[in-house]
Amino acid sequence: MQKLIRIEPSKCIGCKTCEMACSFKHTGEFMPSRSRIFNEVFLDEAKFITVTCMQCDDPWCVKACPKSAISKEMPSGVVIVDRDRCVGCRTCVSACPFGMIKYVPSLGKVDKCDLCGGDTPECVAFCPTQCLTLEEEDTPLRQKMLRFVDAVKEGQMEVRK
Amino acid sequence: MSRFSLKGWSGKLLRVDLTAGTCTDEVLNEQWAKEYLGGRGLGTKYFTEEVAADVDPFSAENKLILAAGPLTGTYGAANGRYMVITKSPLTGTIASSNSGGYFPCELRYAGYDMVIFEGKAEYPSYLQIHNDKAQLVGAVHLWGKSTKETEDQILAEFHGDAKIACIGQAGENLVSFAAIINDKHRAAGRTGIGAVMGSKNLKAIAVRGTGGVKIADPVAYREAALDSYALLKANPVSGEGLPALGTPVLVNVINQMGALPTNNFQKDTFDGAEAISGEALASTYLKRNKGCMGCVIGCGRVTGLAGSRFDGDGEGPEYETLFSLGSACGVDDLAAITKANYICNEYGMDTITIGTTIACAMELAEKGLVTEEEIGMPLSFGDADAMVKLVEMAGKREGFGEKLAMGSYRMAESFGAPELSMSVKKLEFPAYDGRGIQGIGLNYATSNRGACHVRGYMISPEVLGLPEKLDPQATEDKAVWTKIFQDFTATVDSSGVCLFTTFAIGAPQFANFLTAATGAEFTEATIMEIGERIYNMERVFNLKAGVDPSQDTLPKRLLEEPISDGPLKGEVAKLGEMLPEYYQERGWSTEGIPTDERLQTLGLV
Ramachandran region of residue B464, left (φ > 0), alpha (ψ -120 to 50) or beta? Answer: alpha
B519 touches chain A (CB under 8 A): no
B51 and B164 share one domain: yes
Count of C-beta atoms within a 10 Å radius of residue B284: 15
Lowest-confidence region among A16-25, A138-147, B545-554, B555-564: A138-147
Where residue A142 falls among pLDDT bands split at 50, 70, 90?
confident
- Last residue in a domain, options B208, B225, B257: B208
Where residue B50 falls among pLDDT bands split at 50, 70, 90?
very high
Q: Which residues in chain B touch residue A44, judged by CB atoms under 8 angstroms apart?
A: 184, 313
CATH of residue B81's domain is 3.60.9.10
> Using CB atoms and an 8 Å cut-off, which of residues 102-131 of chain B contact chain A?
102, 105, 109
B51 and B179 share one domain: yes
Residue B63 near residue B16, CB atoms below 8 Å: no
Task: Identify the pLDDT of residue A153.
Answer: 84
Name the pTM for this structure. Answer: 0.96
| Owning domain of residue B133 | 12-208
DSSP B216-282: S-HHHHHHHHHHHHHHHHHSTIIIIIHHHH-GGGHHHHHHHHT---BTTTTBS--TTTGGGSHHHHH
Task: Identify the pLDDT of residue A157.
Answer: 63
> What is the rounded distance in angstroms from the CA atom of residue B44 to the CA atom of residue B95?
9
B77 and B198 share one domain: yes
Q: Which of B479, B424, B477, B494 is nearest to B452 (CA)?
A: B424
> What is the rounded distance in angstroms from the CA atom of residue B392 to the CA atom of residue B290?
26
A43 touches chain B (CB under 8 A): yes
B601 touches chain A (CB under 8 A): no
A160, pLDDT greater than 70: no
CA distances from B455 to B304, B446, B482, B590 (A): 31, 9, 9, 22
Residue B92 resides in a domain: yes
Residue B474 near residue B516, CB atoms below 8 Å: no
What CA dihedral angle connects A51, A52, A55 and A57, to 10 degrees? 30
HSE of B570, CA atoms in CB hemisphere, 13 A: 2
Q: Is the peptide bond before B70 cis (omega within 30 degrees of 0)?
A: no
Where residue A140 falls among pLDDT bands split at 50, 70, 90?
confident
A153's CB contacts (< 8 A; 6+ apart) are none
Q: What is the DSSP letter of B546?
A: T
> What is the rounded distance in angstroms from the CA atom of residue B457 to the CA atom of residue B442?
11
Residue B478 resides in a domain: yes
> What is the rounded distance in angstroms from the CA atom of residue B225 to the CA atom of residue B509?
9
Task: Identify the pLDDT of residue A152.
Answer: 83
Which tens digits make up the pLDDT trace of B546-592?
Answer: 999 999 999 999 999 999 999 999 999 999 999 999 999 999 999 99
CATH of residue B575's domain is 1.10.599.10
A31 touches chain B (CB under 8 A): yes
CATH match of A55-112 with 3.30.70.20? yes
B256 and B327 share one domain: yes
Task: Identify the pLDDT of residue A138.
Answer: 78
What CATH number was assigned to the domain covering residues A1-53+116-161?
3.30.70
A110's CB contacts (< 8 A; 6+ apart) are A81, A86, A88, A90, A92, A93, A101, A102, A103, A104
DSSP B283-347: TTTEEEEE--TTBSS--EEEEE-TTSSS--EEE---HHHIIIIIGGGT---HHHHHHHHHHHHHH
Residue B388 near residue B371, CB atoms below 8 Å: no
> Using CB atoms and an 8 Å cut-off, which of residues 134-193 of chain B contact chain A?
183-185
Q: Give the mean pLDDT of A38-54.
A: 93
Residue B432 near residue B453, CB atoms below 8 Å: yes
CA distances from B45 to B38, B62, B273, B484 (A): 9, 14, 42, 21
Q: Which of A137, A134, A62 is nearest to A101 (CA)?
A: A62
Find the residue in B nearest to A47 (Cα): B288
In angstroms, what separates the C-alpha of B597 from chain A's closest C-alpha?
42
Task: Identify the pLDDT of residue A46.
Answer: 87
A158, pLDDT greater than 70: no
B443 and B424 share one domain: no
The ipTM of this complex is 0.96
B308 and B358 share one domain: yes
HSE of A110, CA atoms in CB hemisphere, 13 A: 29
A159, pLDDT greater than 70: no
Query: Count of residues for chain B?
Result: 605
Task: Identify the pLDDT of residue A97.
Answer: 96
B260 and B337 share one domain: yes
CATH of residue B336's domain is 1.10.569.10
Residue B297 near residue B78, CB atoms below 8 Å: yes
Residue B79 resides in a domain: yes
Where along chain A do its domains lie?
1-53+116-161, 55-112
What is the 3 state secondary structure string of B90-159? CCCCEEEEEEECCHHHHHHHCCCCEEEEECCCCCCEEEEEECCEEEEEECCCCCCCCHHHHHHHHHHHCC
B211, pLDDT greater than 60: yes
Q: Which residues in chain B touch residue A14, judged by CB atoms under 8 angstroms apart?
A: 290-291
Query: Checking DSSP bridges between strand B114-118 and strand B12-17, what pairing results, if any?
Result: parallel
How many beta-carbon pairs below 8 A join chains A and B? 88
B520, pLDDT greater than 80: yes
Query: Checking DSSP bridges between strand B313-315 and strand B300-304, what pairing results, if any?
Result: antiparallel
B153 and B190 share one domain: yes
B410 and B291 share one domain: yes
B213 touches chain A (CB under 8 A): yes
Where residue A151 falls among pLDDT bands split at 50, 70, 90?
confident
Residue B238 resides in a domain: no
Q: Alpha helix (H) ranges present in chain A?
A: 17-27, 60-64, 91-95, 122-126, 139-160
- Last residue in a domain, options B384, B408, B428: B428
Q: Give the mean pLDDT of B492-516.
A: 98
Q: Give the mean pLDDT of B294-304.
A: 96
CB contact under 8 A, B225 and A30: no
HSE of A107, CA atoms in CB hemisphere, 13 A: 20
Find the residue in A nearest to B217 (Cα): A28
- Last residue in a domain, options B400, B428, B456: B428
Residue B508 resides in a domain: no
| β-sheet bridge partners, residue B289 | B301
Residue B511 resides in a domain: no
Domain count, chain B: 3
B360 and B472 share one domain: no
Where residue A148 falls among pLDDT bands split at 50, 70, 90?
confident
B90 and B199 share one domain: yes
Query: Checking DSSP bridges between strand B125-130 and strand B202-208, what pairing results, if any?
Result: parallel
In angstroms, what separates the C-alpha of A7 from chain B's closest C-alpha?
17
Q: What does the mean pLDDT of chain B come to?
A: 97
Find the residue in A nearest to B214 (Cα): A29
> What is the rounded distance in angstroms from the CA atom of residue B94 to the CA atom of residue B102?
25
CB contact under 8 A, B185 and A43: yes
Task: Identify the pLDDT of residue A136.
Answer: 87
CB contact under 8 A, A129 and B213: no
Q: Phi/psi of residue B374, each to 5°?
A: -65, -40
Domains A1-53+116-161 and A55-112 share a fold: yes
Task: Identify the pLDDT of residue B598.
Answer: 97
Q: Which residues in chain A touch residue B210, judged by CB atoms under 8 angstroms apart?
A: 31, 33
CA B157 vs. chain centroid, Å, equals 30
> What is the rounded distance in angstroms from the CA atom of residue B298 to the CA atom of residue B109?
22
B390 and B261 share one domain: yes
Helix (H, G, I), strand (E, B) or coil at A30: strand
Residue B215 resides in a domain: no
Give the nearest partner residue to B183 out of A23, A43, A126, using CB atoms: A43
Which tens digits make up the pLDDT trace of B337-396?
Answer: 999 999 999 999 999 999 999 999 999 999 999 999 999 999 999 999 999 999 999 999
Residue B5 resides in a domain: no
Task: Identify the pLDDT of residue B226.
Answer: 97
Residue B308 near residue B335, CB atoms below 8 Å: yes
> What is the rounded distance in angstroms from the CA atom of residue B541 to the CA atom of residue B464?
33
Give the nearest partner residue to A43 out of B184, B213, B294, using CB atoms: B184
> What is the rounded distance in angstroms from the CA atom of residue B213 to the CA atom of residue B518?
10
> What is the rounded distance in angstroms from the CA atom of residue B243 to the CA atom of residue B229?
14
Q: Which of B193, B189, B190 is nearest to B171 (CA)?
A: B193
> Using CB atoms and an 8 Å cut-off, which of residues 300-359 of chain B contact chain A?
300, 302, 304, 313
> What is the rounded distance in angstroms from the CA atom of residue B218 to the CA atom of residue B211?
17
CB contact under 8 A, B73 and A30: yes
CB contact under 8 A, B211 and A33: yes
B121, pLDDT greater than 60: yes
Query: Distance between the two ends of chain B, CA-based, in angstroms?
Result: 25
Give the nearest partner residue to B109 out of A24, A32, A129, using CB atoms: A32
Q: Please give the angle made by the CA atoms of B248, B252 and B257, to the nearest 5 degrees.
A: 130
Q: Which residues in chain B touch residue A16, judged by CB atoms under 8 angstroms apart?
A: 102, 293-294
Largest CA distance in chain A: 69
Find the residue in B nearest to A44 (Cα): B314
Where residue B459 falls among pLDDT bands split at 50, 70, 90?
very high
> What is the rounded distance in angstroms from the CA atom of residue A90 to the CA atom of residue B511?
44
Strands in B12-17's sheet, in edge-to-edge order, are B22-27, B12-17, B114-118, B64-68, B81-87, B94-100
